[in-house]
Chain A
Amino acid sequence: MRLESRGEISRVMLVAAPFAAVAFTLVAAALFVAWAGAPVGRTYALIFEGGFGSRFAWSETLTRATPLILTGLSAAVAFRAHFYNIGAEGQLYGGALAAVAVGGLAGPPALLFPGMIAAAMVAGALLLIVPAILRARLGVDEVVTTLLLNFIVLLFVSMMLDGPMKDPTAMGWPQSVSLPDELLLSKLVERTRVHTGLLSAAGLAVALWALLKYTTFGFEVRAVGANARGAAFVGVPVTRTTILVAALSGALAGLAGAIEVAGRTSYVTLDMSPGYGYSGIVIAMLAGLNPLGVVAAAIFVAGVLVGSDSMSRGVAVPTYIAEVIVSISLLSMLVATAFARYRLRWN
């Protein structure tokens, strides 16, 4: 069994691939639903209604999609340069903690707000620049270091929430002091949780798309990703590009933390992110590492998560079906795009 390139990639195949992947996902996940003994059609209908079926459903989905867009962009830009940042979860928490630390200072909000956002981005960036330098200078694999840093950062946040940054009025609950109201993001739609962070996330997606497509830096990122040795040979500064990519990717994940705090929770807890950092990787892959696709993929994943929560109140299917659906769609999407480019030969 081997793969043979199809030569010219037909546009029809590339467009058909995602649909084939979605169809396969729906069929495969249906088996899991049926296993739980629930009616498949009704379960899917409930997930769809809960995620996209009403104004409220959309507002919840978009609220959930906001941090996912940012972590998705974080993964997309890093993976473009073949720099495997698996540490977005830690960078998100680092950013959230830095945001609350700066936001709690005394000063005019007009100064504190940008300071808070900048602190979060710097915290996220620093957390990823260290692994980037370790890889560039000493050849330490970034996958392992970024993974391990997640645990270290989470423990550090836990330490801060037990100690110096603990909210004394939180009844012993480990959570940070809340941001003052002036620093919170305003709501986008009245009486929902959607906040202006959504606009910045979407704006950044467009900006990142343009950056990667139209600038020299974007070209260098793609060159390093395609072939680092070849890129170095034609004069692309590989180490500098890798470190810049790391700074950008870490800053985006750190920003996700700040925006979650300023837009949704107003304080840091240890469960403020149900794995947004890891989901960002899935979203980036579903989007084929395209920043604009990240927005669509994040809304899809958020909708499935939100819809599954509301579905489980109607039928006896565990909410873990959401992760099952997302993971099958990721795997089938990978396979589908491979088949769009290659055909299988049995010899």
Chain B
Amino acid sequence: MELIEGTVSMLGNADFWVAVLRIGTPLIFGTLGVLLCERAGVLNLGIEGIMVAGALTGWLAVYLGAGLWTGVLVAALTGAAFGLLHALLTVPLALSQHVAGLGITLFATSVSYYAYRVSFPNVSAPPTIQPFAEMAWLPIPVLAKQTPMTLLALVAVGVVAWILYRTPVGLAVRAVGENPAAAEGQGLDVNAIRTGAIVCGSALMGVGGAFLTLSAFNAFFFNMVNGRGWICVALVVFASWRPGKALAGALLFAFFDAMQLRLSQVSGQGIPYQVYLMLPYVLSILALVLVARRATYPQALMKPYRKGER
């Protein structure tokens, strides 16, 4: 009974929806990033590490005196750089996309942690910055409690959708992800388009990481990304590789995450808190199982393309 009452009052509470949108923001960036890469036919498991690297470099830039938006740009460029590395390994060198991606995650994470330790050898408390402020000037209820990075994420959904479905560039990206040989026949440079999509997608992942250090928190912590990147990889499947559904998926996951936070507070001692923490992961797997039959993968996903080879 208590649990049901708690749930009802939670859903009527604006603060709850503010939390949903805040938790969802890094997932929106990350999911769009994975989506761009996979639409061009390349899996990018580097996301977990790229988000760590973006979180660190964006924050570090601001800590060293740059503006907040410069920090976001630095995070995007960091993501793009690791994306370029992933693209080199998987596109012209045609290495296993799983393995290269995991290698990128390991590399980006370890370099970030190493860089943090080199920059701050003996600090007892993590150094902090002044993060983005809420957009109190905005006359929209829940959005006014968010930082501009959340607005950026929502805009990015529209931009990615528009590029993918309404521009020649988007058509080219989808073409190389579906049938690279046919795209080549149309005079498209498959390798260049795939590389570009991975670089742009990875830049979005870097920005998603930077949201954690520039908006959600004000410092860099080890393990702060904590699997968010992997969640994004799952969300893209759930979203059938469509930007609009990706937004919905990210918010749905954030909804469950925010709900488990609240429920574990109202339910008291009865159920171990770990059950609530498990909930979003269990539901993600269930969601994947439900959509799997209808999922329409980009046909060339995970298939390297070599000119003249079949």
Where the two chains meet, the residues of A that have a C-beta atom closer than 8 Å to any C-beta of B are 1-3, 32, 35-36, 79, 84, 86, 134, 138-141, 143-145, 147-149, 151-152, 155-156, 158-159, 162-163, 278, 281-282, 285, 316, 318, 320-321, 323-324, 326-328, 330-331, 334-335, 338, 342, 344
Contact = CB atoms under 8 A, between A and B. Distances in A.
Nearest to A141: B237
Contacts of A1: 92, 191
Given A327-B103, A327-B107, A330-B103, A143 B278 contact: no
Interface of B: 43, 45, 85, 89, 92-96, 98-100, 102-104, 106-107, 109-111, 113-114, 117-118, 121, 191, 227, 230-231, 233-234, 237, 272, 274-275, 277-278, 281-282, 284-285, 288-289, 292-293, 295, 306-307
B192 to A, nearest CB: 9
A229 B292 CA distance: 20
Most buried by A among B106, B227, B233, B277: B106
30 contacts: A1-B191, A2-B191, A3-B94, A3-B306, A32-B111, A134-B292, A138-B289, A139-B293, A143-B45, A144-B234, A144-B237, A145-B285, A147-B227, A147-B230, A148-B230, A148-B285, A151-B227, A151-B278, A151-B281, A155-B277, A158-B274, A278-B102, A318-B121, A320-B110, A320-B114, A327-B107, A328-B107, A330-B107, A331-B89, A338-B94
A344 B88 CA distance: 12
A14 B164 CA distance: 42
A3 B89 CA distance: 12
Contacts of B114: 32, 318, 320-321, 323-324
A338 B277 CA distance: 42
Given A3-B93, A147-B227, A282-B102, 20 more contacts: A1-B92, A2-B191, A79-B99, A144-B230, A145-B285, A147-B233, A149-B281, A151-B278, A152-B278, A155-B277, A155-B281, A158-B274, A159-B274, A162-B274, A316-B121, A318-B114, A327-B107, A328-B107, A331-B89, A331-B107
A1 B191 CA distance: 8
Which secondary structure dominates chain B's binding surface? helix
Most buried by B among A79, A140, A316: A140
Contacts of A320: 110, 113-114, 117
Given A140-B289, A155-B274, A327-B107, A148 B95 contact: no
Contacts of B272: 159, 162-163
Contacts of A159: 272, 274-275
A225 B41 CA distance: 20
Which secondary structure dominates chain A's binding surface? helix
A330 B274 contact: no
Most buried by A among B231, B277, B284, B285: B285
A155 B233 CA distance: 20
Given A32-B114, A285-B99, A316-B121, A323 B109 contact: yes
Most buried by A among B43, B109, B111, B281: B281
Contacts of B100: 331, 334
A333 to B, nearest CB: 9
Contacts of A162: 272, 274
A331 B104 CA distance: 8
B166 to A, nearest CB: 29
Nearest to B236: A144
Contact of B89 (A282, A316, A324, A334): A334
Contacts of A163: 272
Given A155-B274, A324-B110, A318 B306 contact: no
Contacts of A86: 102
Contacts of A35: 118
Q: Which 4 A-B pairs have the closest CB atoms?
A: A323-B110, A318-B117, A327-B107, A159-B274
Contacts of A342: 93
A281 B102 contact: yes
Contacts of A324: 107, 110-111, 114
